Amino acid sequence: MTDREPDPIDIALREDIGEGDVTTQLVIPEDARARARVMSREKAVIAGTGPAAEVFRRVDPQLKVSTGLTDGTVVLEGETILEINGSTRSILTAERAALNFLQRLSGIATLTRAFVEAIGKNPAKIMDTRKTTPGLRALEKAAVVAGGGINHRFGLFDMVLVKDNHLVAQPDLAQLAVAIRKAKLRNPSMKVEVEADSLEQVRALIHIEEIDLILLDNMETTEMREAIALGRNRKVKFEASGGVNLKTVRRIAATGVDFISVGALTHSAPAIDLSLELTPISS
């Protein structure tokens, strides 16, 4: 994290602990010690082990936190993800915030892996979107990578993406072409993508050489194949978006698109069921 970026771990701890864990301080002796295991209650692709471990360390730097797993590892029901040793109070205080990161990010990685596997041998890449939880984008995009997907643009600043509402506000493609050429002259490495929802738009866009990608939005697979055929002799690549789910993604991938963006990876991934099992250590 840089000084300019919000720290999601700090936010989570302040949100959960506030002025202090009154229950744990009331019930648990200050000198109580324990070891704990964070376990999965279902098969999952793990992500977020780093943030989860950091939660425990921030609550108490004296806690010993270890994991033999790396993000992207498949775990089975009952398998241990993290082990923590130290103050019982500290473990209990950190538990929920740590598990929240781990269950959320593992859910994203698990759903991403399901999409990656669903496309079979088709070469298309599964890609995320900006439909992320505010403040957690970096962590959620890392979870997509752990699941085998790739990242689209991080924000509004690192790629030009002209979408349908931009085209509604500025429908003149000739002016759009001039603006894109100017942008490429200023920053040749900046990727440029433009959305198209019809073959007519694709025909017009493929003649703008500075466009790197064309986003095929909510097109039928027959239209996608035609669009890709139109761009076959050009450097332009194609991304499919809209109407993508686990039942349709293989059919979409079979059209020959280069990328398939799936908003559900980050906005609808179900959390993984995890538990923390505590074992007191006799003094």
> Is residue 1 in a domain?
no
Return all residues near 86 (Cβ < 8 A) that are at least 6 apart: 33, 34, 60, 62, 63, 64
Q: Same domain for 126 and 91?
A: no
Q: Same domain for 135 and 210?
A: yes
pLDDT value, residue 74: 98
pLDDT value, residue 4: 58
> Is residue 2 in a domain?
no
pLDDT along the chain (283 residues), means of 10: 73 96 97 98 98 98 94 97 98 98 98 98 97 96 98 97 93 93 94 96 94 96 96 91 96 97 98 98 82
Tokens of 131: 């439909």
Q: Are 17 and 60 in contact (CB under 8 A)?
A: no
Q: Same domain for 85 and 160?
A: no
pLDDT value, residue 2: 47
CA distance 249 to 116: 9
**10 Å Cβ neighbour count for 17?**
16
CA distance 147 to 113: 5
Q: What's the domain range around 84? A: 8-115+269-281
> Is residue 3 in a domain?
no
Instruction: Tell me, rounded to whole angstroms, the distance of Cα 158 from its chain centroid.
Output: 17
> Is residue 102 in a domain?
yes
Tokens of 35: 């070891």
> Is residue 100 in a domain?
yes
Q: What are phi and psi of 43, to 5 degrees?
A: -65, 135
In the chain, which residue ranges form alpha helices assigned H by DSSP? 8-17, 22-27, 49-59, 88-118, 137-146, 164-169, 173-186, 199-205, 221-230, 249-253, 264-267
Q: Same domain for 82 and 156?
A: no
Q: Same domain for 97 and 207?
A: no
pLDDT value, residue 283: 66
Q: 3-class SS at 161? A: strand
Residues labelled catalytic: 96, 131, 163, 195, 217
Q: Same domain for 142 and 218?
A: yes
